[in-house]
A and B are shown apart, each in its own frame.
Chain A
Amino acid sequence: MAPPNCILLYGLACLAWTIGVAFTIIADLLKTKLSNRLALALTAGGALSAGMGAIGNYQAGIPVNFTALKHFGLTTLSFTGDNLAIPFILLLTLVALASTLSTRDLIDSTHNKEGHRFQSNHYYRLILLLLLGTLLVLLSANAITFLVFWEVMSVAAASLITSEHVRHRAQRAALAYITASRLATALLTGAFLWMYHQSGTFDFASWQFQSNSTFPAALLILLAVCIKAGIWPAHGYLPQSYAEAPGPAAALISGVIGKTAIYLLLRLLVLGNCQHSWVIYIALALGTISCIWGILFALVERDLKRLLAFSSVENMGLIIIAISLSMLARKEGLPVIAAIAVTGTLFHAFNHGVFKSLLMLAASTIDKKAHTRDLAQLGGLAKRLPWTMLAFFIGSVAICALPPSNGFASKWLIYQAFFRMAIESVPLHDRAISLAMLGILSFVGALSLACYTKAIGIAFLGRPRSKQAQFTPETGLSGSAMALVILSAICVFLGTSAGICLRAITPALAELNGSGIDAANLFPVAVAQLSLFGLITASIIYLCILGPRSTGMKTYITWDCGYGPLSARAEETGSSFSHPIGRIFSQVLQLKVETNITGRDRRHFPEGIKVETRMTPFIETTVYKRFIEMVNFSSLTLTRLQTGSIHVHLLYLFLTMIVLVYLGTVL
């Protein structure tokens, strides 16, 4: 039995959020606005209390089934707070606090861009519901409870995306999001019913996935998780929805909601010891494709938030790959590799939550200040938003997995698992896959480095490319900047003290792999020494090469290329930066460039040069579009059945009756 204080704290968190929701409803009824201060205090208080609950639960150290409130339809409404949920609850707390801190800066509570009133009551209500749903999803102990709160979470997220519902793009994004989450829920429901049929219970803890008869359920769960996490080919909704959600909400959705899908996969398939090789290889294949696909599209993307969303697709792919590797190793009877891979998964999921919400908040800050997210319009933000620049830089370093950041630590573990897999005595094709995956991962890593170099280089360096980017610089540390600085400090902390963090998640891992391998020993790199070494190297470089400035050295603005002060229009743009790589992968990206030079002597004296770059996202234009057309066509055909004539409807009735009677007599 857990100490009652953590139950109390979780309860307090739910209570705070529920009271917040009630307050917003009352405020709506009274036609006033709930005070920002109160709403934010309730949000933050709930988050803090949930986080403290998680810490208390951690010290209890044992899985507890602490509430079975009452009968809830098919089963009891029961929750459990075990060690696996703790990292995710902490992540939720962290991101919720950061987004709360930055809400007042990022949300214009009076008017938005188009001059429509921003409905702050609506916004706070949905944020609170989202947090409530997510916390209870992480705590739920059986399938029915899980599905209920999963729906609360999904619907709240979809409604948050429509916060600026007058915009056509927001409507489309919300529709796409809700379609995806409905699909995921449908698949999950199918899987849960199948498992109920197999095991006779809805309790997650008693579900095992070894036997052949559980294969459909395992596959359905995998597919549902892939849809929810935005894995290829169901990634299409991520860029739209992340770009349209209001800043703090986008941070929550990108940082936490996708992770709940990963959490589900860990809880069911990894804890349930899934042994189906088809599921494992499908997960591996989908993860690999979405890795490459996501980073390629992120690289050529112009919209900063969409770029981050595509990068999320890549990272989610990476996490799925790591999970499938751990299942594969487990199946082959290699508990050490399974433990390393699952450690990498858990750590990377946490890290990605932190740095992706950091980057998302930074992008929202830029959006708020410059009123655009288009890289071609930005530039020179380093002087105007120094804190945001710093945070974005640290976040990018982390997401590109450069030491000493946390991204490096978790990716290192995943690499290590693959290296070990490649030299183990497992079937040849598994070793070949491991080697190939190493190549693919490093390729993806290099591309993500290019992608974030582009994002920072174009957005923050150089000169402003438009009037919009020439706003007054930020003064002092505003709330959002503070949130960013805190998050980046956490990134650095998680990276430099990876050993401590891994020791902290050891109980969760012990639960996951059951082999009791101490996770702290899995990261043998002496990060502190390495960091010291890097620091010394950097200082030497600075002192010996950059420090003694010779008289002939001149200072230029970044994209001037040594030519002297060029105009902002002559600078490198995002498109031109990513063009070479885009060209190499033009088959995948469907990138087409048309250059049109006009003038009498077009070779020497061109009068007009027009360059047009076009990119058609393959999946969206072929698969999705076909699918949507098919649905539309079939719905139109079906409405033709409804003629409105009494006789035709009677005929349908008659035919149904005959069929039913026939079935009744034959069967």
Chain B
Amino acid sequence: MQLSTFEALAMLSAVLGILILGTTLLRTNLSFYRFHTLAIVALTVWIGHITKEAHLYIVAAAVLLVKVLFIPSFLGWVMKKAEVGSDKQAFIAAPLSMHLGAIMLGVSYLLSSRIPGLEGVHQEGSHLGSTAAMSILFTGVLLMLTRRAALSQILGFLVIENGIYLFAVTQTHGMPMLVEMGLLLEVLVGVMISGLLLFNIKKSFEHIDVSQLTDLKD
């Protein structure tokens, strides 16, 4: 099976996303997230190159700055300060959840068969772009669902956000600059706030296990 560069990059980002599920060591998780986002940045640049949409380069640069460089470093700093190393007692063991992620990749392949994506970027009849996006979405949800540590929740949220971003990029000629930048800013603020919250949770409860925060109901 012959993959175009675009498809190869999309699949790479999806697989790197699934690899996040494969370990409970938070530091490793963060590095996988870094690589996974890097693949998405590369994909954005590539789409910009094909469609001749110059603003995609700027978007890619911003994503690189915020999501690849800043956010993982920030979260690493938070981890060190809060003294959490790994996400013990996940609901589903890490290897199993990675396999689930792989299965979800197949499911998203089936689901996305009717979403062909951009003309010109994809090969005729190919829908691997939306498959990857959806798979990343599912990966993020799985991450949030199966892990206990608050840091994994933040990471899951970030992965979901990546999935949505990828979906937008592969389906359209890039969203307007302003929207893209706004989203990025929102993610940044969200992560910083939740990082600080995590700090306080750790200080007050001596743990960051969200499964024990059950006062959500009335």
Residues B210 and A647 in contact, CB atoms below 8 Å apart? yes
Instruction: Find out whether the CB atom of A654 lies under 8 angstroms from the CB atom of B145.
Output: yes
Would you call A644 an interface residue if the criterion is a C-beta within 8 Å of the partner chain's C-beta atoms? Answer: yes
Please name the residue on chain A nearest to B215 by beta carbon.
A644
Min Cβ gap B138→A in Å is: 8
Q: Is the CB of A645 within 8 A of B113?
A: no
Instruction: Report whether A647 and B91 are in contact in the complex, using a CB–CB cutoff of 8 Å.
Output: yes
Interface size on A, residues (CB 8 A): 17
Q: Which residues of A contact B218 (CB under 8 A)?
A: 642
With both beta carbons as reference points, the residue of chain A lying nearest to B153 in the complex is identified as A646
In the complex where A661-B134, A665-B111, A665-B115 touch, is A643 in contact with B144 (Cβ < 8 A)?
no
Partner of A650, one of B141, B213, B215: B141
Q: Is the CB of B113 within 8 A of A665?
A: yes
Known: A651-B145, A657-B141, A661-B134. A646 touches B111 (CB 8 A): no
**Which residues of the partner chain B approach A111 to less than 8 Å between Cβ atoms?**
none
B217: chain A residues at CB < 8 Å are 639, 642-644
A649 interface residue, CB < 8 Å from B?
yes
Interface residues of B in 108-159 (CB under 8 A from A): 111-115, 134, 137-138, 141, 144-145, 153
Interface residues of A in 618-638 (CB under 8 A from B): none
Q: Is the CB of B216 within 8 A of A646?
A: yes
Residue pair A644, B214 in contact (C-beta under 8 Å)? yes
Listed residue (A646, A651, A654) with the most chain B CB atoms within 10 angstroms of its CB: A646
Measured CB to CB, the nearest residue on chain A to B113 is: A665
A-chain residues with CB within 8 Å of residue B113 when the two chains form the complex: 665
Q: Is B204 an interface residue (CB 8 A)?
A: no
Evaluate contact between B134 and A645: CB separation under 8 angstroms. Answer: no
- Cβ of B154 to closest chain A Cβ, rounded Å: 12
Q: Determine whether the beta carbon of B114 is less than 8 Å from that of A649.
A: no
Q: Which of B91, B145, B210, B214 contacts A643 (CB 8 A)?
A: B214
Majority SS at the chain A contact face: helix
Majority SS at the chain B contact face? helix
Q: Does B211 contact A (CB under 8 A)?
A: yes
How many Å lie between the Cα of A657 and that of B134 in the bound state? Answer: 11
A436 within 8 A of B: no
Inter-chain CA distance A582–B45, complex, in Å, is: 88
Total A-B Cβ pairs within 8 A: 43
CB distance from B91 to the nearest CB of A (A): 7
For residue A653, which residues in chain B have a CB less than 8 angstroms away from its CB? 141
Please indicate the chain B residues that have their CB under 8 angstroms from the CB of A654 in the complex: 138, 141, 145
Report the Cα distance A639→B217, complex, angstroms.
Answer: 9
The residues of B that contact A661 with a CB separation of less than 8 Å are 111, 134
Q: Is A563's CB within 8 Å of the partner chain B? A: no
Q: Give B66-104 as 1s and 0s: 1 = Cβ < 8 Å from A's Cβ atoms.
A: 000000000000000000000000010000000000000
Q: Which residue of B lies closest to A661 (CB)?
A: B111
**A662 within 8 A of partner (CB):** yes
Within the assembled complex, what's the spacing in Å between the Cα atoms of A643 and B212?
12
If A662-B111, A665-B111, A665-B115 touch, whether A650 touches B145 (CB-CB below 8 Å) is: yes
CB distance from B211 to the nearest CB of A (A): 6
The answer for the CA separation of A266 and B201 in the assembled complex, in Å, is 65
Q: For residue B167, give the distance in angstroms from its CB to the closest CB of chain A.
A: 11
A646 and B114 in contact (CB under 8 A), knowing A651-B145, A654-B141? no
Interface pair A646/B211, CB less than 8 Å apart = yes
Report chain A residues within 8 Å CB of B215: 644
CB proximity to B under 8 Å, residues A456-501: none
Neighbouring A residues of B145 by C-beta, 8 Å? 647, 650-651, 654
A92 to chain B, nearest CB (A): 43
In the bound complex, CA of A657 to CA of B137 (Å): 10
Taking the closest CB of chain B, its distance from the CB of A644, in whole angstroms, is 4
- The residue in chain B whose Cβ has the minimal distance to the Cβ of A662 is B111
Within 8 A of B (CB), among A530-556: none
Q: How far is the CB of A580 from chain B (nearest CB, A)?
A: 55
Q: Which residues of B contact A657 (CB under 8 A)?
A: 137, 141
User: A646: which B residues are within 8 A, CB to CB?
Assistant: 153, 210-211, 213, 216
Report Cα–Cα, A654/B111, bound state, in Å: 15
- Give the CA-CA distance A642 to B134 in the complex, in Å: 27
A contact residues around B210 at 8 Å (CB): 646-647
- State in angstroms the CA–CA spacing of A655 and B134 once bound together: 14
Measured CA separation A642–B215 after assembly (Å) = 11
Residues of chain A contacted by B91 (CB below 8 angstroms): 647
Interchain CB contact under 8 A, B115 and A645: no
Q: How far is the CA of A666 from the CA of B153 in the complex (A)?
A: 31
**Known A-B contacts A661-B134, A665-B112; A645 and B141 likewise in contact (beta carbons under 8 Å):** no
A642 / chain B contacts, CB cutoff of 8 Å? 216-218
For the complex, what is the distance from the CA of A653 to the CA of B214, rounded to whole Å?
Answer: 17
Report if A650-B144 is in contact (Cβ < 8 Å); known contacts: A644-B215, A645-B211: yes
Contacts of A650 on B, CB cut-off 8 Å? 141, 144-145
Contact with A along B175-214 (1 / 0, CB 8 A): 0000000000000000000000000000000000011011
Besides A645-B211, A665-B114, A666-B114, 17 other CB < 8 A contacts?
Answer: A639-B217, A642-B216, A644-B214, A645-B214, A646-B211, A646-B213, A647-B144, A650-B141, A650-B144, A650-B145, A653-B141, A654-B138, A654-B145, A657-B137, A665-B111, A665-B112, A665-B115
Q: Spell out B's residues near A (CB within 8 Å).
A: 91, 111-115, 134, 137-138, 141, 144-145, 153, 210-211, 213-218
13 contacts between A and B (CB under 8 A): A639-B217, A643-B214, A644-B214, A645-B211, A645-B214, A646-B153, A647-B144, A647-B211, A654-B141, A654-B145, A657-B141, A661-B134, A665-B115
